Structure 1
Amino acid sequence: MSQDTLIAELSNICPAGVHQNVSLAQISRWRIGGIADVIVEPSSLDELCRLRSFIAQKGLSSIVIGDTSNLLFADEGLRAICIRMGRKMSSISISGDTVMAQAGIWVPHFARRLMQAGLTGAEHTCGIPGTLGGLICMNGGSQRKGIGSAVVSVTAVDPEGRVFTLDRDACLFGYRQSVFQGNGAVVAASKLLFNRAPKPESIRREMLSILRERSRKFPRKQPNCGSVFKSNPEMYADIGPPGAAIEKLGLKNYRIGDALISPCHANFFVNAGKASADDMLRLILYVRDTVCAATGYRMEPEIRYVTLGGQVISIHNAAPPGSFLKYPRYSKRLANGKS
């Protein structure tokens, strides 16, 4: 299929939703990445189903993104069809304590709408930059909470374009995990249940407190993707969170190229100018191995790497040859000076 034919077919499925030769650095929260051949934004569940069905029938490569939190795009760009779940699918309706929301709604707006309705339980999400679909996929949240606890059901579309619905138990929510990280489905919408606050003003106060704390602790003026490494409960109890472990090793302000460990928070890596994906990869892997050498814990990145062909892979598997040092493995007991 020629590129012109492909664009015509995609435009027939998603009118006004097809964009060619898009700079990933312009849409990436890290401001990193090459040129994407085509990005398609469906505006309805029907369009999403038809789009996924077409891609499957033609045997084309594709990737699904939201607000690009937790993604690092390759410097070479993206040759696969990129499906973007965003503002065209961002409706929300609230009836009593039940919320119906599409996957493309921006999370801070979602939290604000619940606050205005007097519903509590989403305050912890108010400062998270991303879409609801991504939040559900990652069971994201803050203050060691996850959105999964409020989910009643999730409507999703499988790779062949078929719609299905899972209840909360079937979503297999865990700490920063869900079934949607491995089943190839796209979250389209969700039904959620929240509690009505006895004093609605308390919701606003809590959200303002969270936002002030985030402004104090986290870099806001430089491109970043939030926390780079996941918190490991065992490591947390033994050493502390990833940011504390990185800071104790004196790595704040450490940089490779224009990829910089933020002086505000050591688990936030920022683009200090014109950082490349290779810069950021090298920095992440250097920090991972340095912390492992010192503590015995191999931290797991929250960030995923998007290859030229559209594969979303672990940062562990994305390193260019020779880009990071190899350290001997230390046991946790030896690393902490225990006998």
Structure 2
Amino acid sequence: MLGQLSELDVGAVKARAPLAHHCSWRIGGPADLLVEPESAMQVARLVGFAREHEIPLLVIGQGTNLLFDDAGLRGIVLKVGARMAQLSIHGNRILAEAGVWVPQLARQAARNGLTGLEHIIGIPGTLGGLVLMNGGSHRRGIGDNVRRVWVIDRAGELQVLSHAQCAFSYRHSALQDSGAVVVRAELECSTGDPRAIRRAMVCDLRERRRKFPRKEPNCGSVFLSTAEMHASVGPPGKIIEEAGLKGTRIGNAEVSLHHANFIVNRGGASAAEVLALIAHIRREVHERIGFELRCEVRYVDPQGRIMPADQAPQVRSSL
């Protein structure tokens, strides 16, 4: 398979690539193959190859919200990253490839006096993943700014989708269920005062540094904060802290002392330990207030299936 891919010109190919090196949690076994393409055409070739040979294909960016299994992945991981990170600005519109680093995108917008992306300055991921998940902060999502998205569909064909076709909702889009690979997006912003935009970003970053763990590897928020939850019982971090779970540890996975909706890797943590800790938190919270926490973080099993971590077999039966 390695030789076939090398002949196809799909980008840089690595065999037995440790997935712990390709996610922010620093957890995960080896993938059979990891491919880093440089263009949408290479992505299309790889998608077509995987489909033709019925090989599991997992698409990732920086892996900032992924928990890879300790056994790794039996198939191909397609990483859309720094090799696909071109960005250009035309008036109040930004055309960016999916591998653009999100904080870089926010800073480029600020330099050009474009407002609307201040809320993404502290999100450590790539644009493709952000669009796919309709990511953001302060209950805002990047979908508000998306006008068009270029994807490679399951058949390996390039498609251009409108804002409406993406069906953005809170931390979700139709792209998640389509099996398509995001390769580029067009964003529309409003014009603003560059100094005011930068001040807002500095304020956001300062608040993040104060509240969130920065030194230990983590995936950001583990549990999803819905409007219903927020109105009835509060955000996940508050709920978990009030349950007395800050600092709770299973193996080398620990509920952060800085923010209870973060699980940190204290060094050598395994996916099994993280899943066990997630199950413990959900069980304790459910017993205390009767509310079922759902996960924002995604678990990837050895067959490349991706699911909310609360749907992992090890966690699903925990309540």
TM-score, normalised relative to structure 1? 0.91
Return the offset for 1:63: 0.6
Return the offset for 1:313: 2.2
Return the offset for 1:174: 0.3
2:219, 2:209 → 1: CA distance?
Answer: 15
1:230, 1:81 → 2: CA distance?
Answer: 28
The residue identity in structure 1 corresponding to 2:64 is: S
Q: Match of 1:188?
A: 183
1:320, 1:98 → 2: CA distance?
Answer: 44
- Contact residue 172 and residue 179 of structure 1 kept, 8 A: yes
The residue identity in structure 2 corresponding to 1:110 is: L
Q: Match of 1:306?
A: 300
2:177, 2:40 → 1: CA distance?
Answer: 21
The residue identity in structure 2 corresponding to 1:202 is: A
Return the offset for 1:281: 0.3
* CA distance 1:200–1:164, change in 2 (3 Å): same
Structure 1 residue corresponding to 2:126, chosen from 122, 126, 131: 131
- Contact residue 6 and residue 13 of structure 2 kept, 8 A: yes
Q: Match of 1:329?
A: none
1:202, 1:19 → 2: CA distance?
Answer: 44
2:44, 2:318 → 1: CA distance?
Answer: 45
The residue identity in structure 1 corresponding to 2:307 is: I
Structure 2 residue corresponding to 1:227, chosen from 213, 216, 221: 221
SS at match of 1:297: coil
Q: Is 1:30 aligned to residue 13 of structure 2?
A: no
- Residues 83-122 of structure 1 show CA distances to partners (whole Å, capped at 9, x for unaligned) of 0010111110001101100101110111111111111110
Return the offset for 1:324: 6.8
Q: Match of 2:135?
A: 140
Alignment of 1:99-118 (within 5 A): 99-118=94-113
- Contact residue 68 and residue 301 of structure 2 kept, 8 A: yes
- Could you tell me which runs of 5 or more consecutive residues in structure 1 were left unpaired when the two chains were aligned: 1-5, 327-339
TM-score, normalised relative to structure 2? 0.97
Q: Is 1:268 aligned to residue 262 of structure 2?
A: yes
Q: Match of 1:200?
A: 194
- Could you tell me which runs of 5 or more consecutive residues in structure 2 were left unpaired when the two chains were aligned: none
* CA distance 1:317–1:118, change in 2 (3 Å): same
Structure 2 residue corresponding to 1:245, chosen from 239, 253, 267: 239
Q: Which is worse superposed, 303-312 or 209-218?
A: 303-312
Q: Match of 1:293?
A: 287
Return the offset for 1:54: 1.3
Q: Is 1:72 aligned to residue 67 of structure 2?
A: yes
Max Rg structure: 1
Q: Match of 2:39?
A: 44
Q: Match of 2:89?
A: 94
1:47, 1:28 → 2: CA distance?
Answer: 22
Q: Match of 1:213?
A: 207
SS at match of 2:314: coil
The residue identity in structure 1 corresponding to 2:306 is: V
Return the offset for 1:314: 2.8
Return the offset for 1:16: 5.0
Aligned Cα root-mean-square deviation (Å): 1.4
2:313, 2:4 → 1: CA distance?
Answer: 36
1:67, 1:44 → 2: CA distance?
Answer: 17
Q: Match of 1:337?
A: none
Return the offset for 1:15: 5.7
- Contact residue 232 and residue 299 of structure 1 kept, 8 A: no
Q: Match of 2:153?
A: 158
The residue identity in structure 2 corresponding to 1:80 is: G
The residue identity in structure 2 corresponding to 1:183 is: S
Q: Which is worse superposed, 16-25 or 112-121?
A: 16-25
- Contact residue 278 and residue 310 of structure 2 kept, 8 A: no
Aligned residues: 319
Q: Match of 1:283?
A: 277
2:80, 2:10 → 1: CA distance?
Answer: 15
Q: Is 1:171 aligned to residue 152 of structure 2?
A: no
1:61, 1:20 → 2: CA distance?
Answer: 15
Q: Match of 1:334?
A: none
The residue identity in structure 2 corresponding to 1:252 is: K
- Contact residue 155 and residue 190 of structure 1 kept, 8 A: yes
1:189, 1:82 → 2: CA distance?
Answer: 19
SS at match of 1:224: coil
* CA distance 1:152–1:94, change in 2 (3 Å): same
